[in-house]
């Protein structure tokens, strides 16, 4: 009886820890998935699937590892989905009319008060999204995990399944490329020496 109670308490604590963690992680993970997929409906599904898989398969792991594991699972789900889409296109299984009703990142709430600022912000957002899509996958992942998800180098390495050194290289190269691609949006340009 005592052992059963201990298991129930441990399970309850893990559920609370996951609930707290996921409430702060969900929006950032959704944005990450939106940028990777370009479809907010699909992105929401991927985030939910990754959360479920984490709790089903890895709830026994230390809670400190959950963020990196969650992003690794999410990243793998996204890659699998993209692979299936490419295969369907190659095999000629074209999308149905219902699949064309995609939502994009412009559906996210606007943060700019004036119409001019709003237009400028939308243009910048489009440019950033375009620049991110031009990066190789590993560089884009390293950048998004480090800058937007605020993961540490070690957490990013775990999520990407590579070494910390590799994360640093991919992140550095992504920053350099983004500086070049977005130079027109910087007030005085970017100083490569800085």
> Are 31 and 81 contained in the same domain?
yes
**Angle in degrees, 0-180, between the axes of helices 153-160 and 66-91, rounded to the nearest 10:** 40
d(CA 158, CA 136): 19
Full domain range(s) for residue 20? 1-105
> Are 97 and 131 contained in the same domain?
no
- Domain assignment of residue 134, yes or no: yes
Q: Within the chain, where are the H helices?
A: 2-37, 40-58, 66-91, 115-134, 137-143, 153-160, 164-181
Last residue of a domain, one of 64, 81, 105: 105
User: pLDDT tens digits for the chain (194 residues)?
Assistant: 455 544 445 556 677 777 787 888 888 899 889 888 888 899 999 999 998 898 889 888 888 888 888 999 999 999 888 888 876 665 544 344 444 445 555 555 544 456 655 556 677 778 888 888 899 999 999 998 898 888 899 999 998 999 999 999 999 999 999 889 888 876 555 555 44
Q: What is the chain's Cα-based Rg? A: 20
Last residue of a domain, one of 105, 127, 147: 105
Tell me the pTM.
Answer: 0.53
């Amino acid at each position: 009886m005592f052992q059963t109670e201990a298991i129930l308490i441990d399970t309850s604590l893990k559920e609370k820890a996951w609930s707290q963690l996921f409430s702060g992680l969900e929006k950032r993970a959704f944005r990450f998935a939106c940028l990777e997929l370009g479809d907010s409906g699909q992105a929401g599904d991927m985030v939910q699937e990754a959360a479920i898989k984490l709790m089903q398969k890895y709830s026994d792991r230390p809670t400190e590892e959950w963020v990196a594991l969650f992003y690794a699972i999410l990243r793998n789900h996204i890659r699998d989905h993209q692979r299936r889409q490419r295969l369907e296109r190659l095999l000629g299984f074209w999308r149905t009319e219902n699949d064309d009703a995609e939502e994009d990142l412009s559906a996210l709430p606007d943060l700019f008060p004036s119409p001019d600022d709003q237009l400028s912000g939308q243009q910048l957002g489009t440019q950033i999204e375009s620049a991110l899509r031009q990066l190789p996958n590993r560089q884009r992942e390293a950048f998004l995990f480090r800058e937007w998800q605020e993961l540490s180098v070690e957490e990013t390495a775990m999520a990407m399944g590579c070494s910390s050194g590799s994360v640093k290289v991919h992140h550095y190269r992504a920053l350099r490329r983004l500086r070049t691609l977005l130079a027109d949006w910087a007030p005085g340009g970017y100083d490569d020496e800085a």
